[in-house]
Amino acid sequence: MADQLALRSENFAEWYNQIVQKADLADYGAAKGTMIIKPYGYALWENIQAYLDKRFKLHGAKNAFFPTFIPLSYIQREKEHVEGFTPNLWLVTAGGGETLEEPYAVRPTSETTINMTVRNWIQSYRDLPLLLNLWNSCFRYELRTRLFLRTSEFLWQEGHTFHATWEEANQYALDIHNDAYLDFYAHAAAMPCIGGRKSEREKFPGADVTYTLEALMGDGRALQSCTSHNLGHNFAKSFDIRYLDRNNELQYVATASWGLSTRAIGGILMTHGDDKGLLMPPRIAPTQIVIVPIFGKSGDPAPVLDAAKQLARELSEYRVEIDARDDKTPGFKFNDWEMRGVPLRIEIGPKDIEKAQVVTARRDTGEKKFVPNAELAAHVKQTLDSIHDTLYARAKKFQDDHTFVVDTYAEFQERTAGEGGAGFLLAHWCGDDACEHAIQKETRATIRCIPFDQIKEKGKCIRCGNESDGRVVFAKAY
């Protein structure tokens, strides 16, 4: 069939491209590399946003808005930052039919424009810490795009915080990393991740330290799922942001930034999908429960529809949808909602009404149960929690099964050969940038992180044979 879904196990890339559109999440925009997020996909983003926004506010961050257009001279003030972003900048050079005196960069990230502004807001230690978060669009020129994973415009949040000391900025970056991002992926997205620090080559342009969470997708490739940066005094010195400390002496502030984008949606799809379609984690699923009335071939459909509406009212604490389409068969509806990944389906027909029961079906296992109406509320809660736990356990087993300790470069090259993913490769590295670059050039694998739980052990670098203090995480990545 022309519209049949590609098999995930046989053509992962095509499966992903199809599932994004077949599940009604997104479509391609008119401008090159842009993405339209449809209501079902945007509802997922809203749930991610709501979960994280609460976590950020627990750490004192307050939401703000800054303009999309940034004078190019702002971007150019921080040398390492401009070198890192120049290849991906979109520039506005004309407006109102006139050539601009200075081009505007269309926001690739907001460090520069925020730093240029808040230097007027911070005068003394009493103004610190200043903790800001933005929910906005970012724009980066991309040659090769894929919906949710890499587009010329994407949605994200970016936090920007200002602190009295380097240590305070570093601790805040770690707190967001652990208490917001790691919490979200474990307890909402059901995605296991490896946390750690980026190498100098892979860190954010202008940062002293970049922290990351790396997840393993269903094709064995890694996905950088979020980052948190200690920017130290670098931007403060470039933008001359200083404050009077308690001793009435001028000091440079220390800054941090942190972000997660709609790329997280791509990660959720590639972690949990199967050959039937998506598998939405229950706690952030746009629709947690779909109720399908089974009208039968004859008789009045009104009692069944009324019973379905009553069920929806009783389950109103959840995100519930009733599929009352009268031009589709129950089988079509089942397949359609399985494609969309709705965690739990409830079926109700005339015989179920007589017996005061419903039929429930789990998306993750396909298990169906007859559940008395009196027990439904407890059953739904237990089942949704169980689905979350099952999805996490499956993903963790996949990650464990595709994590390999590698001791020779020959094996490293063998595992990274071909177009597919290689899994997580734990290998020794000497710490030299030139060696890291050579490995990337020869194998297309990069250092995803130096893990927080790295075991200190003496070894030999996977490529050059020089001394190493511990294994790092390599992978081929998105």
The DSSP code sequence of 141-160 is --SS-BTTTB-SEEEEEEEE
Angle at alpha carbon of residue 228, lines to 201 and 161, rounded to 5° = 125
Cis peptide before 303 (omega within 30 of 0): no
Q: Verify that 430 and 343 share a domain, yes or no.
A: no
Mean pLDDT score of the chain: 95
CA pair distance 52, 228, nearest whole angstrom: 14
Q: Is residue 376 part of a domain?
A: yes
Q: Verify that 301 and 409 share a domain, yes or no.
A: no
**Among 221, 236, 271, where does a domain finish?**
271
Q: What pLDDT does residue 4 have?
A: 83
Q: Is residue 284 part of a domain?
A: no
Q: What pLDDT does residue 1 have?
A: 36
Q: Is residue 91 part of a domain?
A: yes
CA pair distance 308, 419, nearest whole angstrom: 48
Q: Is residue 280 part of a domain?
A: no
Pick from 74-78, 263-267, 325-329: least confident:
74-78
Helices (runs of H) and strands (runs of E) counted in the chain: 15, 24
Q: Is the pLDDT of residue 297 over 80?
A: no
| pLDDT, average across residues 341-361 | 97
- Could you tell me the CATH number of the domain that includes residue 46? 3.30.930.10
Q: Residue 95 contacts by C-beta under 8 Å, 6 or more apart in sequence? A: none
Q: What pLDDT does residue 99 have?
A: 97
Instruction: Answer with the residue of higher pLDDT: 390 or 85.
Output: 390
| pLDDT, average across residues 24-53 | 97
pLDDT band at 82 (very low <50, low <70, confident <90, very high): low
pLDDT band at 247 (very low <50, low <70, confident <90, very high): very high
Q: What is the tally of structural domains in the chain? A: 3
Q: Is residue 390 part of a domain?
A: no
**Among 348, 383, 418, where does a domain finish?**
383
Pick from 52-56, 142-146, 306-310: least confident:
142-146
Q: Which residue has tokens 């629709």? A: 287
CB 74 within 8 A of CB 67: no
Q: What pLDDT does residue 299 have?
A: 75
Q: Verify that 217 and 262 share a domain, yes or no.
A: yes
- Could you tell me the CATH number of the domain that includes residue 459? 3.30.110.30
φ, ψ of residue 342 in degrees (nearest 5)? -60, 125
Q: Does the global pTM surpass 0.85?
A: yes
Q: Which residue has tokens 């290998």? A: 427
Domain boundaries, position 335: 289-383
Q: Verify that 65 and 145 share a domain, yes or no.
A: yes
Q: What pLDDT does residue 300 have?
A: 85
Q: Which two tokens stand for residue 42?
A: 């945007």
Q: Is residue 391 part of a domain?
A: no
Q: Verify that 338 and 259 share a domain, yes or no.
A: no
What tens digit of pLDDT does each residue of 433-444 get?
999 999 999 999
Q: Verify that 135 and 82 share a domain, yes or no.
A: yes
